[in-house]
Every structure is written in C-alpha cells, then in structure tokens.
Amino acid sequence: MALPVEKYLRVAKMPHIWCPGCGHGIVLQSIVRAIHELELDTEKTVIVSGIGCSARAPGYLNFDTLHTTHGRAIAFATGIKLAKPELNVIVITGDGDAAAIGGNHLIHAARRNLDLTVICFNNNIYGMTSGQYSPLTPQGSYATTSPYGMLENPFDLCNLVMGAGGTFAARSTTHHARQLTNIIKEAISHKGFAFVDALSQCPTYFGRRNKLRTPREMMKWFEDRAVPARNWDKMSPEEREGKFPVGVLTKTQAPELTEVYGQLIEQLQQRGGE
C-alpha cells in the first residue's frame, strides 16, 4: 500500500536526529504503516514517549504527541487513556526507558490490562547517552559501563509482561520489518495491554563495541538469532542458546481497565439518579 507520508509524518521537522543506519527509523516506519493499514483515526490517536533516541520518534509523527520524562511514558499515557478512553494511546519507549527506570510502570500497566500499545525500540543499549549498558544488554556484551563485558543477566521483556498479566506480547526486529508491521497492527487492535519488543540496531554505540560494525551486520545478527514463535516451543534449551523467539508470544482476553471503570461510573451514576 502506498504510504501518504505527509499525512503521518511531520516532514517539516526532518531531518531527524538519528544516526545513519540506526534501526529506530525502521520501527517508526512499521508503526506508521500499521496505523495506515488499520485506518486509525489520526485525530484520536496520541503517541507518548519517554527519553532516549527512540523517544524522539513522536516529534516526527503528525498526531497529538507527548515527549515526557525518562521512564515515565507509560504513566503519562495511563492518565491520558483513563481520562479519555476513546483515544488510541501508543507508547514509544527504549530498552532503558521501559526496563530500567520505567520497569515498574511497565509491569503495573500490564497488570492493570489498560488498553495501551507499548512499543519498545530495543537496541540493547543506552543510545542517547552514548552507549552505557541497559537491562537488555546481553551478557558478555561491551558497553561504556561494561568495559569488561556485561556481567548481569538481561531481562526478557515479553516474559516480564506476560508474568505481570499483560494480555498481548510479541517480538520482532528491524530485519523482519514486514512482520514487525503486522505485529504492531495486531498489538494496536488488541483490546487490553499490548507490548511489542521491537529489536532495533544501534550501530553507533552497540555495534561498534561488539564487532558488528555496520547496520547490515547488526541486522544479520537479528536474522541469525530470531526463531519463529511456532518453532520455539519445540526447541531444547541447548538449541535455544543465543536465540530468541519472534512473533506473537501471548494473546489472551481479559477485562480491560477503562471498560471496567466505565461500567462502575455508569452504575454509580444510575444509583445516584434513582
């Protein structure tokens, strides 16, 4: 489908701040395509972000947009969604933003099953602050604050969201841009909390330190390690070593918070009117 770029992007705000070869533009494109293909009402869609390279995306998107504080995008979005449940609220976050400073908000939004779509531009590193490790940096990888290799265990954000009660979790990568678009479409359409772990490359700060010098090498790294979700379940722990599943990993239905609250308001107001 041809994409009417000027409808969705604030072209006057270009050029964007991202480095050549950065994966964030590919994820942004997938979001725009998903919104276009779903024919979302652009006047009823709000896009919220925290702080990071990823968090700059809303500045380029021609919607109501909110660029908040580091880690807190989901909490701001919670206020927007609860105050105006008819809005589609999409959160753009980074791996540091979502999993470190904002980890608490992520798990609680998942637990509440609030109808937000959270898309994590996961480049396994703090891009904006020039390459410190994040809670998603793979063990052994190098960052400016893990000069001897990352010692800690990384999170699996999809598992975290599932464990917290999120009703939709999926993963894809910039290498799998078509799949990523489809997953984002499904996430936005999902009634309830939906999380997308969108693996993105930061050649500038992750690649350079980890022998993945070009964006191409980084995307190849995604290609080599990604396993379709349907195959993942059949794999032994040894086979899973160094790999990760892509696709929709969980999709269930549960009461959604704004709906439940709306019913409460209706009940109480009827009672008051009697």
Partner 1 sequence: MIKNQARLLQGNEAVVEGAIAAGLKFFAGYPITPSTEIAEQCAAKLPAAGGTFIQMEDEIASMAAVCGASLAGAKSMTATSGPGFSLKQENLGFAVKGEIPCVVVNVQRVGPSTGMPTSPAQGDVMQARWGAHGDHEIVALCPSSVEEAFSLTVEAFNIAEEYRTPVILLMDEVIGHLREKVVLPSKEELVVKEREKPSVPQGEYKPFAMKQGNIPGVPPLAAYGEGYRFHVTGLTHGEDGFPTNNPAIAEKQLKRLNEKISSNKEALVKVEEFHLDDAEIVVFAYGATARSARKAVNDARAQGIKAGMLRPVTIWPFAEDALLKVKAKSPKAVIVAEMNLGQMVLPVKRVMGDSVPVVQVNKLAGQLIEPEEILSAVKEAI
89: left (phi over 0), alpha (psi -120 to 50) or beta: beta
3-class DSSP assignment, residue 120: strand
Contact footprint for ligand SF4 (CB under 6 A):
18-19, 22, 24, 53, 123, 127-128, 202-205
172 DSSP assignment: E
Query: In angstroms, what is the minimal distance from the CB of 229 to ligand SF4?
Result: 26
Query: In angstroms, what is the minimal distance from the CB of 151 to ligand TPP?
Result: 19
Phi, psi of 270 (to 5 degrees): -65, -45
Q: Which is nearer to partner 1, 91 or 136 (CB)?
A: 91
Q: Select the binding partner of residue 97 from Mg ion, ligand TPP, ligand SF4, none (C-beta < 5 to 8 A, by kind).
A: ligand TPP
Query: Does residue 183 touch ligand TPP according to CB under 6 A?
Result: no
Query: In angstroms, what is the minimal distance from the CB of 46 to ligand SF4?
Result: 24
3-class DSSP assignment, residue 11: helix
Among 65, 75, 81, 96, binds ligand TPP (CB under 6 A): 96
Distance CA 270, CA 264 (A): 10
Query: In angstroms, what is the minimal distance from the CB of 130 to ligand TPP?
Result: 9
Whole-angstrom CA distances from 52 to 23, 72, 92, 160, 259 are: 14, 12, 10, 21, 32
Q: Which is nearer to partner 1, 112 or 175 (CB)?
A: 112
3-class DSSP assignment, residue 240: helix
Query: Which amino acid, 269?
Result: Q
Q: Name the segment binding ligand TPP (CB under 6 A); options: 33-41, 104-112, 117-125, 157-165.
A: 117-125
Distance CA 97, CA 84 (A): 24
270: left (phi over 0), alpha (psi -120 to 50) or beta: alpha
Q: Select the binding partner of residue 94 from Mg ion, partner 1, ligand SF4, none (C-beta < 5 to 8 A, by kind).
A: Mg ion
Strand-pair partners of 48: 66, 91
Among 128, 196, 226, 246, binds ligand TPP (CB under 6 A): 128
Distance CA 209, CA 189 (A): 38
Residues at the site binding ligand TPP, with contacts judged by CB under 6 A: 51-54, 70, 94-97, 121, 123, 125-129, 134
Residues at the site binding partner 1, with contacts judged by CB under 8 A: 13, 42-44, 46, 48, 58-59, 62-69, 72, 75-84, 86-87, 104-105, 108, 261, 264-265, 268-269, 271-272
